[in-house]
Structure 1
Amino acid sequence: MNYELSRRITAYFGRDAKRIHHAMQVYGFAETILLSENITGDEREIIETAALIHDIGIPEAERKHGSSAGNFQEAEGPPIARAILEELSYPPAIIDRVCFIVGKHHSYSKIDGIDFQILVEADLIVNIFGDAMSQKATDTLISKHFVTATGKEIAEGMYQGY
């Protein structure tokens, strides 16, 4: 189903290549982490799905609030994600969990499972580079928010001494 979701995300973001690239990059890192951490079944589907759709609220946040700030993404994303996932016939339990993650993915204190953790790590790996963060900010993010061995290994390998 994720190939259908990938196509839907691409169509939804239209000419916003930056958002499409971001979703695909987060998906790639999430896939690497979850496979290395031996995640299977529903957790795997949740991570893959959340990785593709986590920023779906950005266009609506910008339209309604004039900002893509995390709190606006979290507010606007879940209803859009739910509609897309229902249309693609995802199971209700997967939809509920993905929408929870989409609605909290910038609220790191709300992480409550490995599925949510891996999405955050993959998103941060991509954002550290995209936001050109300072070394100090990068080191702080890695030490505070990376839990999986694979996520830490990737982030430290890419960004220590960056």
Structure 2
Amino acid sequence: MILNSDKIIKEMINYFNKDVKRVNHALKVYSFCNTIGALEQLDDKELLIVNLSGILHDIGIKEAEKKYNSSAGPYQEKEGPAIAKAIMNKYHIDNDIIERVCYIIGHHHSYNKIDGIDFQILVEADFLVNIYEDDMDRNAVTAVRNKYFKTKTGLAILEDMYL
């Protein structure tokens, strides 16, 4: 099933319940996911996976803070997939798409687990936003580029914005 991402965006906004910083972060990551995915010429299914991953990648952060008093990556990865799955199940998204999105969400801070273009694009999109939000210096940005960026589009955007 091909789904317009707007309903999932609305679900994410509702879930974060006035946490504007987290909503804005997710929307920025989603935007980069969509742009990189489209320019890398993903097919409709791959683009949907990338977009859903971008919207929902940090959805476990509230539960992580509640359970572990921490927003650390491993806790987000642990808590996020179940919440994301519950949201996506409301829209009868194909199970293989849900499972892939949940895999990406469940490993999005584990860069050694990147196993496909969809996951790669989410990581690049998240870094493009985090570089700004974390006010990384040029040396850190260069290190991130060299270690984590692989797509032609992601590299070009990183260069255009930060280097």
Q: TM-score higher than 0.5 here?
A: yes
1:33 deviates by 0.6
Structure 1 counterpart of 2:109, from 102, 106, 109: 106
Q: RMSD of the TM alignment (CA)?
A: 0.7
1:156 deviates by 1.4
Structure 2 counterpart of 1:75, from 78, 82, 96: 78
CA distance in 2, matches of 1:86, 1:32: 25
Q: Is 1:155 the equivalent of 2:158?
A: yes
Q: Secondary structure at the match of 2:64?
A: helix
Normalised by the length of structure 2, the TM-score is 0.96
Counterpart of 1:12 in structure 2: which amino acid? Y
Q: Is 1:58 the equivalent of 2:61?
A: yes
Q: Is 1:128 the equivalent of 2:131?
A: yes
Normalised by the length of structure 1, the TM-score is 0.97
- Could you tell me which runs of 5 or more consecutive residues in structure 1 were left unpaired when the two chains were aligned: none
CA distance in 2, matches of 1:137, 1:39: 29
Identity of aligned residues (%): 48
Equivalent in the alignment of 1:119: 122
Equivalent in the alignment of 2:48: 45
Q: Deviations over 1:110-143 (max 9, x none)?
A: 0000000001100100000000112211110011
Task: List structure 1 segments (4+ residues) > 6 angstroms apart after TM superposition.
Answer: none
Matched residue pairs, number?
160
CA distance in 2, matches of 1:136, 1:107: 22
